[in-house]
Amino acid sequence: MSLARRLLLRASRSPWLAAQLRRRAFFRRAVRRFLPGEDLGAALDAAAEFARAGLGSVLTQLGEQVGNRAEAVAVRDHYLGVLAAVRQRRLPSEVSVKLTHLGLEVDRGACEQALSALAARAADCGSLLWIDMEESRYVDVTLELFRRTRAERNNVGVCLQAYLRRTPDDLVGLLPLGPAIRLVKGAYNEPPSIAFPRKRDVDGCYAMLADRLLQEATRGRGRPVFGTHDVRLIKGIREQARRHGTPASAYEIHMLYGIKAAVQRALAAEGCTVRVLISYGSAWFAWYMRRLAERPANVWFVVRNLV
Ligand SMILES: Cc1cc2nc3c(=O)[nH]c(=O)nc-3n(C[C@H](O)[C@H](O)[C@H](O)COP(=O)(O)OP(=O)(O)OC[C@H]3O[C@@H](n4cnc5c(N)ncnc54)[C@H](O)[C@@H]3O)c2cc1C
């Protein structure tokens, strides 16, 4: 992992820096590249625009590590409202949540109940509930709560991170469920004992896991989603799918709002199922720093807004 990436990821956890930068107009302007707006209405409008262009969406309110029960309940109720709005506007949208945003650190039982309530509401809307994957210390509990919610209903999916050394084993353990899995490279600051430090190894692991997911999908098992902007990797995945005879409808490609927008539309025009993950909300600092860390050249975008 590069020094710039490590520094940016460390900075993402600094409350002092968050307080300083969140107030600055130039920083707020730079963030807008990745957010349609801070309120739900802007996110729903963006989802409707993507739908008109033939792209689906996944909605997520920014925030993590809530500190008390009232905040966690408010997050659950917010997402129940999001799903109702998605149904009312007939949007091809799903929702993705972070367990620490739903109060995992405050009350694990209540977090599980919130997940269950959201999965039930998503099922009423004919939609699917995604669970994000956070830092490595949350992987065990995330997979456990995923399994428990999945035992109640199957419209729930979980994210796996290719940079973690443990993920190939986690995937093997999950495959018998025929699960919806969103495979990503991984966005957090992890030590080399836990995550591959070299990009080459992360990309290699991603391709290997993607192939495994495609093989399952070819047999009609599971719903693989490839969450990446890596065009070379996507090309390889599509070639592999053709070799296995995996129908294009059996897998999806998800990208973040504001990144490779032209590629998103081109893939959809070529028959791929594409969804755009739309983040919104005011708690964008840590999340935005992770976007900068993914591509330190983005820091120039911030500097340009400053001058
Ligand atoms: C739909 C979706 C859901 C995600 N959910 C999670 C999650 O739950 N947990 C988690 O840990 N991570 C999550 N991530 C983030 C992921 O782990 C990676 O950090 C992120 O996707 C960057 O990796 P990449 O696959 O795009 O490949 P990279 O090799 O990092 O990037 C490939 C190319 O994409 C472009 N690119 C990538 N990132 C940016 C950026 N920030 N700004 C501008 N261009 C960029 C660049 O051109 C780069 O060369 C998610 C990503 C997506 C797309």
Instruction: Report whether residue 187 contacts ligand 1, using a CB cutoff of 6 Å.
Output: yes
Instruction: Report whether residue 186 contacts ligand 1, using a CB cutoff of 6 Å.
Output: yes
Cα dihedral 195, 167, 159, 297 sign: positive
The answer to whether 180 touches 213, Cβ cutoff 8 Å, is: no
Which residues are registered as beta bridge partners of 93?
57
Provide the pLDDT for residue 305: 66
Instruction: Report whether residue 98 contacts ligand 1, using a CB cutoff of 6 Å.
Output: no
Q: Where are the domains of the chain?
A: 1-35+284-307, 55-277
Tell me the mean pLDDT in the region 18-47: 87
Helix (H) or strand (E) holding 25: helix 25-31
Percentage, residues of the chain above pLDDT 70: 97
The alpha carbon of 265 and the centre of ligand 1 are apart by a number of angstroms equal to: 17
Calculate the average pLDDT of the chain: 93
* Length, in residues, of the chain: 307
The answer to whether 160 touches 181, Cβ cutoff 8 Å, is: yes
The alpha carbon of 185 and the centre of ligand 1 are apart by a number of angstroms equal to: 7
Provide the pLDDT for residue 307: 65
Catalytic entry in 76, 121, 150, 182: 182
Instruction: Report whether residue 183 contacts ligand 1, using a CB cutoff of 6 Å.
Output: no
Q: Is 132 known to be catalytic?
A: yes
Of 135, 156, 161, 184, the one to substitute when testing ligand 1's pocket (max ligand atoms within 8 A of C-beta) is 184
Nearest-CA residue for ligand 1 atom 25 is 228
The domain at 55-277 falls in which architecture? Alpha-Beta Barrel (3.20)
Which tokens go with 20? 């300083």
DSSP-derived secondary structure letter, 91: -
Instruction: Please tell me the pTM assigned to this model.
Output: 0.94
The alpha carbon of 1 and the centre of ligand 1 are apart by a number of angstroms equal to: 14
Instruction: Report whether residue 230 contacts ligand 1, using a CB cutoff of 6 Å.
Output: yes
Tell me the mean pLDDT in the region 34-46: 94
Tell me the mean pLDDT in the region 246-268: 96
Tell me the mean pLDDT in the region 16-33: 81
What are the DSSP E strand ranges found in 44-199? 56-61, 93-97, 129-131, 156-161, 180-184
The alpha carbon of 147 and the centre of ligand 1 are apart by a number of angstroms equal to: 25
Percentage, residues of the chain above pLDDT 90: 78
Provide the pLDDT for residue 7: 84
